Structure 1
Amino acid sequence: MCGFWGLMRAYWLSNRWKEAWTLTVVIALFTAASSKTSVWMAEASGELVNSIAYFHDPGNANPLATVLGNAGLLVLLVILKDAGIIGVRHLFSTTLHRKWRGWLNGRFNEALLDPNHTHFHLQHGARDQDGAPLAPPDNIDQRVQESIKGMTGGAIGLAMGVMGVATSLFFVGQKLLETSTVVAGLEFLGVYGGAILAFAAVAAYVPLNTFVALKLGRILEQLTISIQRAEGSYRSELTTLLRRSFHVAAARGEVVQKEMHANLYTDIDRTWSRLNWFHSGYMSFEKIYDFLGARIVAYGPGLLPYMHEKISLKGYITGAELVNSLISQCSWFIHVMPAIATLKANARRVSDLASAIEKVQRPAEFYSSTGRCDFRFGSQHAVFGLAVRDLELLHEGDQEAPFVTAANLRFRRGEWTFMKGESGCGKTSLLKAINGLWPHGGGDVVFPEGVRSFYASQDIRLSRVSLKQLVCLPESHLGHSDAATASALHKAGLGEFIEFLSEPCRDGKCWDEVLSGGQKQKLVLARILLHRPGLLFLDEATGALDVGAKTAFHQAIKDNCPGITVISVMHEASPPKSATGEEFYDSVLSIADGVAVKHPLRTMLPAELTTILEQPVAASRLGIPRLRRKDGTGQPIG
């Protein structure tokens, strides 16, 4: 489903093929009926012009009634075609558009939100076969929404145009052959001389101008892609601004933000200007083409037979209307060339996204193009807990320079481990690697079999859903009762919000705007208490809480999640304790000089701690910076 034609036919070959083909057949039938009605309209136009031309003819007994009758018939045919056939066809075509877009949108959502975390991997760059860097797809939201909508709608319109051309060639061509006559100088063609002359005029006029339109269409396609990319970047920056609005206001960064917006819009304006120039030129080309086709080319083929009195005025007008109808239908590509350019631009945006999604379906192969990726994940009996062996973490492009190594780490069932180390030493990276969210490096990670894990990070973004849905994530709220959800909220310290459990907002604001940073972390605690995972990763998940709230956070997990294994990253020098002074944590995992070492947590006397801190080897193994004496100028000694 990556290429253009794969995207085009996927819906018709899916499990909803009956729906797709039924709508397609109905649209085709209405398109054929529209083409046939065009023939009837051409005949009625000839009758109307003929009745007007012979209005004063002595043999015309009732000229006014004849004119009004022919005019009324033409009006009825117009109403039948435009209001009946075209209107109903539009209803079916828009239904097909809605169904196809919905199916395709669902497919992309399934691909992005699969258990493989494709949406996460998709935001990382790769390299091609020659080693050149490949940027990740930009503005994924725009591609999934606007580009898919534009592509599906444009493809349906293009298909209806092709069907219209085919049916018009059949019905109009059939009528031209029926009304054809001998043409002076072309007697060797017999009675088909008039029809062949008409077909020749169309064949000479339409393809040449279509070639010109194709050349202009390619330029329009490139400009359309450029403006889509520019507008998507601008919209993305506006969305990002609203998400960090407080930080911009607090830092008084409006001036810099305005400069960013101005630079982004300059790109839009420049591309838009070029696009307008080409649209204006194309519109002028199209108007001149339509006029010459309807007033010169259409009336040219029948002029010679009419001059030699081989056909009547009525036949001449009817033939000209048929040729004009044929030109109009065959010129459909010219009329919709800007739309085709937009269709191709949208299709390229969508197909590029589909190709990028396919590449990251195998993360190990994908990341291997930018560095080493040799992580192996397995499972073992739950009694043995979590094990990490021979783990090395690398940055993109590095092959043999790991910034974190872990020879052998084991986390027993029910064990609480406190992870410590200087900022930037790789604590969060280690947690991500254990959870399969770090791209480069290698090693073995063996999870306890049948144990659910939960990852709680410091940065929390809440979706625009009800409070109950937020608490029940990552599961559906339908699987949890209101009482259980309310109980989890109460235990987490958010009992004041229980009455708003089913509300998606409060006072017109979504929960992401209502709750403070500390309350959001308590909301995550409510999720933990509701789901009771067996393995919990806390990545600075209490950074917005005060000392008392941190203690309550840990105590709630201790009391309500028996047997849970906890691995926690915190900025504190020592792990928190309960209100009675008891230790929550059983062990410490320290990272120093790029080496991760785990050891039991020991309560030391101040003298013992000072001794360890003054021993560089022991301090390094414990992940504690060595204390160094300083001279009078503040410079370290030794």
Structure 2
Amino acid sequence: MVKTSALFAVAGALLMGLALMTEIPVSPLVPLATLTLAVVLYLARDVSTFIRILIALIAGAHVLLTTLYVAAAFGAMPEFMAEFVPPVSMPAAAGVFAAVVAAVGRLPVIRQITILTDPYFTSREVGTVRIWPFPTVRAQERYIGTGILAIVVTMQFALVAISVRLSYWNRDWFNAIQERNEAEFWRLLLTVWVMWVVIAVTMAIYQYAIRMTLDMRWRAWLTEHYTSRWLSEATQYRMQVFGNQTDNPDQRIQEDVRKFTSLTLSLTLGILAQVSTLVSFSVILWTISADFTFPGTSVEVPGLLFWIALVYAVVATWVTHLIGRPLISLNFLQEKYEADFRFSLARMREYAEQVSLLRGERAERASLGRQFRLVMDNFFRQVGVSKRLIAFTSFYDYSNSVVPYVIAAPFYFAGTIQLGVMTQTAGAFARVEGALSFFINAYQTLAEYKAVVDRLTSFEGSIDRARNAAKKTGEVALLDHDGEDLRLDGVVVRLPDGTAIVRAEGLSFAPGTSVLLAGPSGTGKSTLFRAISGIWPFGEGAVKRPRGASIMLLPQRPYLPGGTLRGAVAYPEGEDVYEDATIIAALEAVRLGHLAPLLSEDRIWAQTLSLGEQQRLAAARALLARPDWLLMDEATAAMDEATEEAIYGVLKRELDRTTIVSIGHRSTLNAFHERRVDMVMGEGGLYEPADVREKVAAE
């Protein structure tokens, strides 16, 4: 940015010399805009990547427009490109526009947004893209995204430039009408207007297609980004441990990411278009009314029409904000209530059998009714605010069709301006006022967008808190060592608030043995298991595991993903990792051979199988995975005693090199383990694992 800033400074100085010391008609506005861009580029070194990209694109547009403008001033523009000569307002507008973007980029709310946008535009993943008629390109995603954004923004600037050019066409056309110049009337219509309209329509269609490509690529990248952060290092589990730190992560990843990319692009392009329109047409409006007097007086007010448009739009924007401000919080709450209601319906489907057995339909209807009433009440509060907002904005929109002509009419009737200038004035006034009114027309969209940004920001915050929470309580370290045993050195397991619940000093498990961890409920057995497996970080000390050893934990309620039975048994591996014969053998070993014909069936297996069958399916997974260490947290509690005995028998027979450590309360488990460790009350009210010296089998 520093070198580019220096180049712009030199170019601005040269242009200023041309404007002041030669007879070539170069407006001082152009070199001033170039020098402004030099300052903006230098000061933009510390703004976000997304804002720097936009400023660089504006600078590029300024270079192109200035080149065309200066070439025309030197008489070097070919005759066939005469229609492409920009008015001085356009290159001059770029400097002001860049300064506005740089200033806005430092606002706290924009910084909050760019924290979400920048990761994509700085990503180093490699991707491919093809935009017709160009060949396929393979590059880092940041370059692909920046390139597509540059094309889309450049087209947006071109569409604004065309509208500025048509403003001058409109002036000349109506002057031809006033002067009854038929030949000029048809020439302007059939050559100038037709050409620019065809270009504008074609460009608008192509821009839409390219913008949608960027939208989906960005959404795909962000979806993968958030999914990876959420589903790594047990973050999704730790976020649940914290309770209500964030609601509905599924909605944040699916719905909020979709809205964020779509609204960011549409609002960015809309704001760029409106600001460039504002600056370009403001120069036109100022130039036209440079020596206008205030109506009914002889007081000359330079740029009178511009000031009228500015005051008119600013007052209307302020009123709109006062009316619509509650929509920001209401939109946020509506998304939350809708997601909570949808989650409850999905949960009801998951637990349909239990609800039916308990005859809990009435209680569920009452609960769903309460949640939906929150949706309805908040919705009608939104409607109430929106009604007032629509009433004001509708009146404002209808007024806009006559106000510009009412403002320009006194000057036309006084003979100060011609009909063509009057229509150009009214058009420029409407464009300036419309650009200033962008905030009014887009208020509801902006309110929705702010809610989406807040939800994604809070999701980011929840992920960070879940990952960093152990820094406050201390963290149980997971270490590999060259020994064969799994041992706990100085381990104290804590709750997320720092409260210690279990102390395990010197506990070790020898390879190839079977150990039962017993004790009353609530003594921290399951939490200790989760610390050993690595998903519970809160505490201190170290869990030292044999280097390269694999650990698998079977919980009391296994997770069965939706999809085929083959995929449910193979999980967490892909369903194509194991041969069907191997999967069927594992099912038969755990007494689920009757399910073999259903391997390709696609069902919600958590609702199809009983809890006992689900636990046997989890045992089949262990037979397939063959872990070095198998932790079973009441993993047979839903089985009858005979089936439980058979499952432990097949695990010990088939996994003869696997160390099995179980949590359970049944006395029958004693017979399946060589060693028993009980949780007993120790010093300071903490439970500690203590060995029962005699072999359990001898009891």
Rounded to whole Å, the distance in 2 between the matches of 1:424 and 1:204 is 68
Partner of 1:426: 524
Summarize deviations over 1:312-367 as a string: whole Å, max 9, x none.
2233123212321232233222211111111111101111111221222234215x
Rounded to whole Å, the distance in 2 between the matches of 1:375 and 1:517 is 32
Mind listing any 5+ residue stretches in structure 2 that lack a counterpart?
Answer: 1-47, 49-110, 125-140, 682-686
Partner of 2:421: 315
Q: Which moved more, 1:475-484 or 1:554-563?
A: 475-484
Partner of 1:351: 457
- Summarize the alignment of residues 282-361 of structure 1 with structure 2, pairs less than 5 Å apart: 282-296=389-403, 298-361=404-467
Q: CA contact under 8 A between 2:292 and 2:302: conserved in structure 1?
A: no
Label 1:376 to 1:108 Cα distance change in 2 as closer, same or farther (>3 A): same
Partner of 1:167: 276
Q: Which moved more, 1:546-555 or 1:16-25?
A: 546-555
Q: Which moved more, 1:138-147 or 1:532-541?
A: 138-147
Is residue 2:370 matched to residue 1:263?
yes
Rounded to whole Å, the distance in 1 between the matches of 2:688 and 2:424 is 89
Label 1:281 to 1:84 Cα distance change in 2 as closer, same or farther (>3 A): farther
Summarize deviations over 1:102-133 as a string: whole Å, max 9, x none.
2111111111111x21111122339xxxxxxx
Partner of 1:118: 235
- Paired residue secondary structure (1:574): helix
Rounded to whole Å, the distance in 2 between the matches of 1:289 and 1:67 is 36
Rounded to whole Å, the distance in 1 between the matches of 2:410 and 2:565 is 80
Label 1:21 to 1:604 Cα distance change in 2 as closer, same or farther (>3 A): closer
- Summarize the alignment of residues 40-79 of structure 1 with structure 2, pairs less than 5 Å apart: 42=167
Is residue 2:482 matched to residue 1:381?
yes
Q: CA contact under 8 A between 1:39 and 1:171: conserved in structure 2?
A: yes
Partner of 1:634: none
Identity %: 22
Rounded to whole Å, the distance in 2 between the matches of 1:332 and 1:567 is 65
Summarize deviations over 1:240-276 as a string: whole Å, max 9, x none.
2222111111111111112211222222222211111
More helix by share: 2
- Paired residue secondary structure (2:156): helix
Summarize deviations over 1:375-412 as a string: whole Å, max 9, x none.
333232242x1112444445565746x4x444432211
Aligned counterpart for 1:136 among listed residues 222, 236, 245: 245
Aligned counterpart for 1:518 among listed residues 612, 625, 631: 612
- Paired residue secondary structure (1:239): helix
Rounded to whole Å, the distance in 2 between the matches of 1:328 and 1:75 is 25
* TM-score, normalised by the number of residues in structure 1: 0.80
- Paired residue secondary structure (2:543): strand
State the one-letter code of the partner of 1:561.
Answer: L
Partner of 1:531: 625
State the one-letter code of the partner of 1:541.
Answer: A
Partner of 1:108: 226
Aligned counterpart for 1:597 among listed residues 690, 696, 699: 690
Summarize deviations over 1:511-545 as a string: whole Å, max 9, x none.
33333322222221221111110000011111222
- Paired residue secondary structure (1:474): coil
Q: CA contact under 8 A between 1:39 and 1:175: conserved in structure 2?
A: no
Label 1:414 to 1:19 Cα distance change in 2 as closer, same or farther (>3 A): same
Partner of 1:4: 113
Mind listing any 5+ residue stretches in structure 1 that lack a counterpart?
Answer: 127-134, 578-583, 610-638
Is residue 2:680 matched to residue 1:586?
no
Label 1:343 to 1:604 Cα distance change in 2 as closer, same or farther (>3 A): closer
Label 1:588 to 1:409 Cα distance change in 2 as closer, same or farther (>3 A): same
Rounded to whole Å, the distance in 1 between the matches of 2:461 and 2:198 is 46
Alpha-carbon RMSD: 3.4
Q: CA contact under 8 A between 2:476 and 2:493: conserved in structure 1?
A: no
Q: CA contact under 8 A between 1:550 and 1:576: conserved in structure 2?
A: no
Shift of 1:45: 6.0
Rounded to whole Å, the distance in 1 between the matches of 2:430 and 2:112 is 37
Rounded to whole Å, the distance in 1 between the matches of 2:565 and 2:584 is 10
- Paired residue secondary structure (1:122): helix
Is residue 2:359 matched to residue 1:252?
yes
Q: CA contact under 8 A between 2:291 and 2:303: conserved in structure 1?
A: no
Shift of 1:79: 7.1
- Summarize the alignment of residues 196-595 of structure 1 with structure 2, pairs less than 5 Å apart: 196-296=303-403, 298-366=404-472, 368=473, 373-383=474-484, 385-395=485-495, 397=497, 399=499, 402=501, 404-438=502-536, 440-501=538-599, 503=600, 505=602, 509-575=603-669, 584-593=672-681, 594-595=687-688
- Paired residue secondary structure (1:311): coil
Q: CA contact under 8 A between 2:488 and 2:543: conserved in structure 1?
A: yes
Q: CA contact under 8 A between 1:182 and 1:305: conserved in structure 2?
A: no
Label 1:30 to 1:397 Cα distance change in 2 as closer, same or farther (>3 A): closer
State the one-letter code of the partner of 1:523.
Answer: L
- Paired residue secondary structure (2:479): strand
Q: CA contact under 8 A between 1:46 and 1:317: conserved in structure 2?
A: yes
Q: CA contact under 8 A between 1:525 and 1:553: conserved in structure 2?
A: yes
Q: Which moved more, 1:481-490 or 1:537-546?
A: 481-490
Summarize deviations over 1:553-582 as a string: whole Å, max 9, x none.
1222222222110001223113275xxxxx
Partner of 2:163: 38
Aligned length: 568
Q: Which moved more, 1:315-324 or 1:22-31?
A: 315-324
Label 1:74 to 1:61 Cα distance change in 2 as closer, same or farther (>3 A): closer
- Paired residue secondary structure (2:522): coil
Partner of 1:132: none
Label 1:572 to 1:566 Cα distance change in 2 as closer, same or farther (>3 A): same
State the one-letter code of the partner of 2:116.
Answer: L
Q: CA contact under 8 A between 1:38 and 1:325: conserved in structure 2?
A: no
* TM-score, normalised by the number of residues in structure 2: 0.73
State the one-letter code of the partner of 1:333.
Answer: F
Q: CA contact under 8 A between 1:183 and 1:304: conserved in structure 2?
A: no
State the one-letter code of the partner of 2:235.
Answer: T
Rounded to whole Å, the distance in 1 between the matches of 2:268 and 2:608 is 49
Shift of 1:434: 2.3
Shift of 1:308: 2.1
Rounded to whole Å, the distance in 2 between the matches of 1:587 and 1:546 is 23
